[in-house]
Chains A and B, each alone.
Chain A
Amino acid sequence: QSVLTQPPSASGTPGQRVTISCSGSSSNIGSKTVSWYQQVPGTGPKLLIYTDNERPSGVPDRFSGSKSGTSASLVISGLQSEDEADYYCAAWDDSLNGWVFGGGTKLTVL
């Protein structure tokens, strides 16, 4: 049971817009910044979004993040086949005094 809650799956067709949600609490998302990671099977996670909505250099602007209260969202616009992967949200938790992750969302490009 993950501290941050994500839908287990999401899907879309090429060119569509997909949103993945991440729900937490006041001790994590509500008071700390959120990061998002993309994981292609068999590889280590890759940073997609940090400080809720910033993209590292090299990450396409099709990926965007937002946060409101104790929930965060990752939006992928103009979905492409190479976006098929698992996506995880993460935040520091002040109550647990440690990092917490979402359970991951498997994105399928139909």
Chain B
Amino acid sequence: QVQLQESGPRLVKPSQTLSLTCTVSGGSLSSIYYWSWIRQPAGKGLEWIGRIYTSGSTNYNPSLKSRVTISVDTSKNQFSLRLSSVTAADTAVYYCARVYVGGWYETFDNWGQGTLVTVSS
């Protein structure tokens, strides 16, 4: 059974860059999937941040696009998130997730447990 695990600093100072890594175990970063980051501020709903294919091709949420970079390292079975110029509004639980790509559909079929990142001085 594939497992996803987020890791990275839990506290980031305002204006700095948030960096997280998702390690995928029990499976490989196959081309039938792509890989996403989603976040959830406390007491609020889910917000999609962006996605990356194993080829390196990316798409980002337009509202975050200027500050987000997602990268993949297939040799380490990892993909990463960088969010620059953070403010308190970026404080949230950050999830990494796998998206299954079917012939005519896609779905988030596996999620990490999430990691709380707090932006504070």
- Residues of chain A touching chain B, judged by Cβ–Cβ distance below 8 Å, are 2, 33, 35, 37, 43-47, 50-51, 56, 88, 90, 92, 96-104
Interchain CB contact under 8 A, A99 and B105 = no
Interchain CB contact under 8 A, A96 and B62 = yes
Tell me the nearest residue of chain B to A50, going by C-beta: B107
Interchain CB contact under 8 A, B62 and A98 = yes
Interchain CB contact under 8 A, A35 and B114 = no
The answer for the CA separation of A55 and B113 in the assembled complex, in Å, is 21
The answer for the CA separation of A100 and B62 in the assembled complex, in Å, is 12
Known A-B contacts A45-B111, A50-B109, A92-B106; A104 and B61 likewise in contact (beta carbons under 8 Å) = no
- Residues of chain B touching chain A, judged by Cβ–Cβ distance below 8 Å, are 36, 38, 44-48, 50-51, 59-62, 95, 97, 102, 104-114
What is the minimal beta-carbon distance from A85 to any residue of chain B, in angstroms? 14
Interchain CB contact under 8 A, B111 and A51 = no
Using Cβ atoms and an 8 Å threshold, which residues of chain A touch B48? 98-101
Tell me the nearest residue of chain A to B107, going by C-beta: A50
The answer for the CA separation of A103 and B46 in the assembled complex, in Å, is 7
Interchain CB contact under 8 A, B106 and A101 = no
Using Cβ atoms and an 8 Å threshold, which residues of chain A touch B61? 96, 98
